[in-house]
Chain A
Amino acid sequence: MSLLERHRNIIDFALSSLGRRWKKNLALTLVYAFIVFTLASVIFFTEALKREARAVLRGSPEIVVQRLAAGRHDLIPAGYIDTLKKITGVSQVKGRLWGYYYEPSTGANYTVVASGDPLLAPGTIAVGHGVSRTLNAAEGDLIPLKGTDGAYVSFEVARVFSHASELVSADLIEMPAADLRALFGIPEGYYTDLTLKVRNEKEMVVVADKIRLLLPDSRPILRDEILRTYDAIFDWRSGLLLVIFAGAVAAFIIFAWDKATSLSMEERREMGVLKAVGWETSEVIAMKSWEGVIISLTAFFGGTLLAYVHVFFSSSLLFEPVLKGWSVLYPRFQLVPHIDPYQVLALFFLTVVPYTVATVIPSWNAATVDPDSIMRL
């Protein structure tokens, strides 16, 4: 009998054996698939988000300069622009006006930014889809915003940012700089922070050092640091991943440990009978290994495919409550899928291999004992 035919016979028997305890094995496969699903969802979600952040934020300012006063971010005087322009290598310095607006009726926080190019007409605003959703406002509608003097000012919605851009624009309200100053009471001659363009990207660190020397109350933030922020947020050591990963890994360890340390009486007796009717120890172990492979492969395929559908077709529905926190406004976005073969392989070796090994160890112990003593148990 060829090796292939021998193993096919063993698989036939392993499937029959699994079928005899189908309720237990189905429950086992479902739990196992759920753990794989959780881990794969986290991997797919974070990897896609990190890639998207890198692609989208490449256009963010090369250097942002903030002013700190008593440990707090403070308005920066326009006079700083001239100081920064004098630094060799700096090609452009612009003031940025932005802030947050809390809308009491909905409980949502919005990010208000001064209009870029092309400029909006006075009294008009462009809003993100999230703002439009929470306020039920469409193009042409008026949105009243409360100014620092307590009076409400109505702004006409000139346009709503596309749904496709929600990942960066969901909570945005873009308005003319003069309107923003009037709304928040920011005096002329001050900005929220400054943005710099540098002629040679390699000089950014040197320019940042010069900024710290010339303006000791300021804090430069480099684009590279902005880009690395999202790698760090979704790094496996970050809170989000650690919580989900730790839970799933702990569940898997308990699960594999239980499998490794226990073999039901029925299973032991079955192995005794097999040995008594002439099966070799290696054949019994092969049968148990195939049982492990069948269960873990089914769970791996099922869990990973479901995770893909969850993250890239249902917009990570199950992660939404975790990410939402206390946010009233939450962006609805669909990530561009990215599958890193290395990560899928790592997931495979971290789940399928330990489980299969965990199945073989107790089987080895049981299969090497005298069949007569097992059947008498």
Chain B
Amino acid sequence: MPGRKSDLFFIVVALGAAAFGLMIAHAQHRNENAGHGLKEKAMLVERLGLTDLCLFTDARYARHPSMADLHTAFQDSPMSVEHFPSGTLILPPPHLRPR
């Protein structure tokens, strides 16, 4: 029987699945074409000896988390507690944490 509500449901599910397929295909396509951009960043990292991504620029231990040590978050003054928002979002690097 045409025009049943269940048909609409199946169409919506099929459309959702198709959109998922498109999403995966798009991700694949972008991945294949991302080589140039990634290479450019990797070359800059190698040329300047960079160690970190530029994600947070408010605190130095968040700008270069891999270069931070356990004291950096508290070294602005003897009584200073960690106060940068980015500092609350990231953990210390794994090499500083007890294993």
Contacts and interface: CB of A to CB of B under 8 A. Distances in A.
Interface of A: 8-9, 11-12, 15-16, 49, 52-53, 55-61, 64, 66, 68, 71-73, 94, 96, 100, 108-109, 111, 113, 116-117, 128, 130, 161-162, 164-172, 174, 193, 195, 219, 221-222, 225-226, 228-233, 235, 237-240, 243, 294, 297-298, 301, 304-305, 308, 312, 322-323, 325-331, 336-339
B66 A329 contact: no
A2 to B, nearest CB: 14
B38 interface: yes
Nearest to A232: B94
Contact of B20 (A52, A237, A305): A305
A109 B57 CA distance: 6
* Residue picked from A170, A171, A233, A337, most chain B C-beta under 10 Å: A233
13 contacts: A56-B38, A57-B53, A59-B46, A109-B58, A161-B44, A168-B44, A169-B54, A170-B54, A233-B91, A238-B89, A294-B9, A325-B58, A339-B23
A100 to B, nearest CB: 6
Interface secondary structure of B, over-half rule: helix
A247 B69 CA distance: 30
Interface string B33-61: 01001101111111111111111111010
Given A165-B40, A165-B41, A225-B66, A329 B57 contact: yes
B75 A72 contact: yes
Given A56-B45, A232-B91, A233-B90, A111 B63 contact: yes
A337 B31 CA distance: 7
B44 to A, nearest CB: 5
B93 A229 contact: yes
Given A15-B9, A171-B63, A336-B31, A55 B42 contact: yes
Interface of B: 4-6, 8-9, 12-13, 16, 19-20, 23-24, 26-27, 30-31, 34, 37-38, 40-58, 60, 62-67, 69, 71-72, 75, 84-86, 88-91, 93-95
Contacts of B63: 100, 109, 111, 171
Nearest to A73: B69
A168 B71 contact: no
A116 B50 CA distance: 11
Contact of B88 (A96, A221, A239, A339): A239
Nearest to B60: A100
Given A71-B75, A233-B91, A331-B54, 6 more contacts: A56-B38, A165-B44, A168-B53, A222-B95, A232-B93, A337-B26
B57 A301 contact: no
